Amino acid sequence: MPKVTIDGQSIEVSEGTTILQAARMIGGDIVPPAMCYYSTLKTSGGYCRTCIVKVTKGSEKDPRPMPKPVASCRTTVMDGMEVQNTTAPDLLEARKGVVEFLLLNHPLDCPVCDQAGECDLQNLSYQHGLAKSRYEFKRREFEKIDIGENIKLHMTRCILCYRCVKVADQVCDSRAHGVINRGDVAEISTYIEKSLDSDFSGNVIDVCPVGALTDRTFRFKSRVWFTNPMNAHRNCTKCSGKTVLWTSGDDVLRVSARKDVYGEVEEWICNECRFEKKEKSDWTIEGPRHIDRKSVISANHYEVKKQLKIDVSNQKAIDESAHNN
């Protein structure tokens, strides 16, 4: 099995594992950010370049370093490979450049954007971005488009990660194309507008790393950090029925799929659960959702800490032994 070392931590992985997957197996801060890769969507990755890493040793057989940063989500591990992410200042500088590019045309919408507080781009800019844009040209402008009755597209916020296109193609039941044109005139195409009537189309909202695809049943109802996220489930014939309810008092403001530690949907949910079941009585509530401390949502979220249990049964023996010594 090939062995790879990332920021000084080694792991053996199976053939065909990418650097990003290996980093996720190790876990912690060494995992590169990923704005377009999605482990459950085939052919995702390779679009955004946020996951770049520095390969300082190609492999045991060919130890030459790779001449420039590589996308970790698309680069397969070789035996003996050595990789730097957080330990390479020049790589972090290059990632800043990637973030600056992603933000070139991005609007300053955070105060009015439904994604604020749970936006991967916001977090990425906070960690790697510049305080100020150097871009002096006019930013791209697009009309807001209704994609079906429950989803709105703000193309100005889109980073063309293709995740929604992959969902439309692989999770929804009819084929849908997504991006038309190339370069700075590329946009999510209106073909997708026509196709998004599938039972699972709402999942494009959850995979979108920014606020480009928003839930029309939730838009402008609340800042996300004022809501209380609760795990809930119901018997559903179309999906697992396992969701998160974003509540305020007795109101269910939004229903979304559950996401893992990397922000990826654990199980796709259907539109009926997402858009039509907005009463608490529709659901069996399991309890508060665990919220990462890094998220602004945690500012309004309280969890009962587990009682720390200390075993004092052998304390007397320890005390006596300490005394005798």
Binding site for ligand FES (CB under 6 A): 34-37, 45-51, 71, 73
| Residue 288 binds: one of ligand SF4, ligand FES, none (C-beta under 5 to 8 A by kind) | none
Mask of contacts with ligand SF4, 243-272, x by CB under 6 A? ------------------------------
Q: Could you tell me which of 65, 61, 56, 53 has the C-alpha nearest to residue 78?
A: 61
**128 near ligand SF4, rule: CB under 6 A:** no
Q: Could you tell me which of 238, 305, 247 has the C-alpha nearest to residue 272?
A: 238
Contacts of residue 81, defined as CB under 8 A and 6 or more positions apart, other chains included, come to 2, 3, 4, 5, 19, 55, 57, 58, 59
| Residue 164 binds: one of ligand SF4, ligand FES, none (C-beta under 5 to 8 A by kind) | ligand SF4
**157 near ligand SF4, rule: CB under 6 A:** yes
**297 near ligand SF4, rule: CB under 6 A:** no
> What φ, ψ does residue 263 adopt, rounded to 5°?
75, 20
**163 near ligand SF4, rule: CB under 6 A:** yes
Q: What is the DSSP letter of 265?
A: B
What is the rounded CA–CA span in Å between residue 104 and residue 278?
38
| Residue 34 binds: one of ligand SF4, ligand FES, none (C-beta under 5 to 8 A by kind) | ligand FES
Cβ-count burial 218-241 (b if 16+ within 10 Å, e if not) = beebeebbebbbbbbbbeeeebbb
Q: Which of 71, 121, 252, 297 binds ligand SF4 (CB under 6 A)?
A: 121
User: Judged by CB under 6 A, which stretch of 70-78, 116-124, 270-278, 282-290 contacts ligand SF4?
Assistant: 116-124
Q: Which of 4, 53, 147, 210 binds ligand SF4 (CB under 6 A)?
A: 210
| Residue 229 binds: one of ligand FES, ligand SF4, none (C-beta under 5 to 8 A by kind) | none
Residues that bind ligand SF4 (CB under 6 A): 106, 109-110, 113, 115-116, 119, 121-122, 157-164, 188, 207-213
